[in-house]
Amino acid sequence: MPDKNLQLDGNGKLLHFLSIEGLNQPILTEILDTAESFTSITERNVKKVPILRGKTVANLFFEPSTRTRSTFELAAQRLSADILNLNVNTSATTKGESLLDTLRNLEAMQIDMFVIRHQDSGSAHFFAQHVSPGVSVLNAGDGQHEHPTQAMLDMFTIRHFKKDFSQLRVAIVGDILHSRVARSQIHALNLLNTAEVRVIAPRTLLPVETEALGVSIYNNLEDGLKDVDVIIMLRLQKERMRGALLPSEKEYFRLYGLSQERLKCAKPDAIVMHPGPANRGVEIESSVMDGSQSVILNQVSFGISVRMAIMSMIVGQSGLRGDES
């Protein structure tokens, strides 16, 4: 298990952002509050503040991603950082350089902040363990471990629409077993004292240690959705079908797809979330995705403010300190 104290210094200040596990309620709340102050920037004529001016952010993506890479890039641009995009495919890695050599070389280029997505669980922690003091690492998804910025934008979205976590029932639906998003969300919801966190999934897609995470488990969608305030649908990785973990897409939708009909099981004002990209008609009905309870696109917008907040807290500027000169 990775060292949990990597992320915070002795005074509780954020050094890296690697996993929700190992963080605490005050720092999560500070991130949400700081992100709040950044949402106004995006409504201004000039969407830019000089917080990362003269700093270099490297986007190091070993797995392809459009949404996450773009929102990190936009967050860094709006903080006035210089950006180096590195899409590393396996063929480049087979050129004989290890992950550590790649890191060491990039660090020698005086990169200030690494945003890393990698197929191996623990790779972001590995990076953070090896960078020099003053260099920081942000986890943009590591294997099946965590995707903590996604979880924080989800928390921001929930707080924005539903205010007080201690009054909320939240259901996470789908492939919990393989989902780094779900893992991060559960940790965050627990840290923020959510009244009840439910996971709803077929038995084959639940990790064995699920109960240890402090969640209620449901195998039936209708039962699980009853009276919830927030529904988080997970993306169904279609390749799971082949692994015999799941029946057909049609059958999956019949059992675990969120339809208009089923949405009625939840509270009338429940919000519907999805980390994207969604498979319309597989885990979620199109009309629900585009419906009045869906806040899926708000999640994307908030994702930029949340990433700006985390980046600015790491460089030591908590929130918005005036305009670009």
Shortest distance in whole angstroms from residue 68 CB to a copy of itself? 11
Q: How far is the CB of 217 from a copy of itself (least distance, A)?
A: 28
Backbone φ/ψ region at 125: left (φ over 0), alpha (ψ -120 to 50), beta: alpha
Q: Judged by CB, which is closer to a copy of itself: 130, or 226?
A: 130
Q: Rounded to 5 degrees, what are φ and ψ at 56?
A: -115, 125
Nearer to a copy of itself, 214 or 291 (CB): 291
Q: What's the closest the beta carbon of residue 208 comes to a copy of itself, in angstroms?
A: 29
Tell me how many helices (H) and strands (E) the chain has: 13, 9
What span, in angstroms and rounded, lies between the C-alpha atoms of 139 and 157?
A: 20
Q: Considering the complex, what minimum distance in angstroms separates the CB of residue 140 from a copy of itself?
A: 15
Residues lying near a copy of itself in the complex (CB under 8 A) = 42, 44-48, 53-56, 64, 66-67, 70-71, 73-74, 77-78, 82, 84, 86, 88, 92, 95-98, 101, 104-110, 238, 276-280, 282, 297-298, 300-301, 303-304, 324
Looking at the Cβ atoms of 15 and 282, the one nearer to a copy of itself is: 282
Of the two residues 82 and 196, which places its CB atom closer to a copy of itself in the complex?
A: 82
Cα torsion at 146, 122, 142, 311 (round to 10°)? 80
| Cα→Cα distances 158→31, 142, 186, Å | 14, 24, 13
Nearer Cβ to a copy of itself, position 110 or 166?
A: 110
- Min dist CB 67 to a copy of itself, Å, is 6
Task: Please tell me whether residue 136 adopts helix, strand or coil conformation.
Answer: strand
Q: Any residues with CB less than 8 A from the CB of 77 and at least 6 apart, and which?
A: 48, 83
